[in-house]
Homo-oligomer: A and B are copies of this chain.
Amino acid sequence: MSNAGTERHEYQEIKVTLERILLRYGFSDSRAELCSRLFTETNLDGIYSHGLNRFPLFIEFIKKGIILPAGEPSLILAENNFERWDGNRGPGNLNAWFCMDRAIKLAGENGSGIVSLRNTNHWLRGGTYGLQAARQNCIGICMTNTKPNMPPWGGREARIGNNPFIISVPYEPYPVLLDMAMSQFSYGKMEILSQQGEKLPHNGGFNSRFELTDDPGQILRSELALPMGYWKGSGLAVLMDILVAVLSEGLTTAEIGKLEEETALSQLFIALDLDRFSTQQTAGRIIRTVLDSVTGCQPVQPGQEVFYPGKQTWLRRMENERSGIPVASDTWQRILKL
């Protein structure tokens, strides 16, 4: 993202701008601070699809009463290393941050911590909570359901969610971080390529005749995105929906689909404290063995690098720390008017 419609801003400038807006919408000082930080760091890490671009909609959802700025998690059940929280429709990123923090604390006491959350809102960038765990020396696993936005394999209606799934592992200088939705391509990516008149690099959904297509415009019209790995991503999305809804006793994708807007989501946060399972030296050696083998692989395109999950994010972060954080100009203008 460094084309004509983009400008670069300083971290503090962005964060303070968002903070001022949030304070006007009923956020406490500390909650406005954290919420702004999470939005800003998402663009800092180069995840432009889940950062500032979503801030206007976030405010819109507050105005509509879907996101309740003062909504904080309340404890429903606590047993050993497990806790269940109700998100009371508070801001999704603050609720998720709170629950991963609980999982990390439970992991510090018990080795592992498992925290479920129901009745929450979109968590924005899922990788945020993976990084949160990894920076506390924990393996992090997070999942969420969504509204129905993909057909189950063999079906012609959007009945399953693209349910993001995150796994993170502590590593220096930047954690290993897998952050993926169950759709092969995001609708955001398809919109961008469609506007540019380009095709997807692989089939990414179905046309109106329910045939696979790489034409993003046709998929945007059918609203039938392809699950990653066809039947495999479809199956994983179904199991994730069951896991988050059963463990939180919250809503399923089908039930969320009956609401007017996407809200009341169910989520799961797991942390495993590495220090309780291994020494830093042994765990570090094992992780390095895996990553060295991947990055040492001969690339398909000579001269290119083979990346492990999280490496490209780290490279973007370093560039943005040097050069300023990219923000789409129209997004920035919309934010300044909020």
A residues bordering B, Cβ < 8 Å? 77, 79-82, 84, 110-112, 114, 139, 148, 151-157, 159-160, 167, 169, 176, 178, 180, 184, 202-203, 210, 228-230, 232-233, 235-236, 238-239, 241-243, 245-247, 249, 252-255, 272, 274, 276-278, 282-283, 286-287, 289-294, 296-301, 304-309
Contacts and interface: CB of A to CB of B under 8 A. Distances in A.
A241 B287 CA distance: 9
Contacts of A235: 178, 180, 308-309
Q: Is the interface of A mostly helix, strand, loop or mixed?
A: mixed
Contacts of A230: 184, 202, 228
A243 B82 contact: no
B111 A112 contact: no
B151 A297 contact: yes
A203 to B, nearest CB: 8
Q: How many copies does the complex hold?
A: 2
A151 B162 CA distance: 25
B156 A239 contact: no
Which of A249, A255, A305 gathers the greatest number of chain B CB atoms within 10 Å?
Answer: A249
Q: Which 5 A-B pairs give the minimum distances between C-beta atoms?
A: A228-B229, A155-B297, A254-B293, A229-B229, A235-B309
Contact of A287 (B167, B242, B253): B242
B155 A241 contact: no
Nearest to A141: B243
Contact of A246 (B160, B232, B277, B293): B277
Given A233-B228, A235-B178, A276 B184 contact: no
Contact of A111 (B81, B155, B286, B309): B81
B229 A169 contact: no
A161 to B, nearest CB: 10
B82 A238 contact: no
A31 B2 CA distance: 63
A112 B230 CA distance: 31
A254 B242 CA distance: 34
Nearest to A152: B294
A127 to B, nearest CB: 12
B290 A252 contact: yes
Contact of A278 (B203, B249, B278): B249
A300 B243 contact: no
17 contacts: A81-B110, A82-B111, A84-B277, A148-B293, A154-B300, A154-B307, A159-B293, A178-B236, A184-B230, A238-B308, A239-B309, A241-B290, A245-B286, A245-B289, A245-B290, A253-B293, A254-B289
A154 B272 contact: no
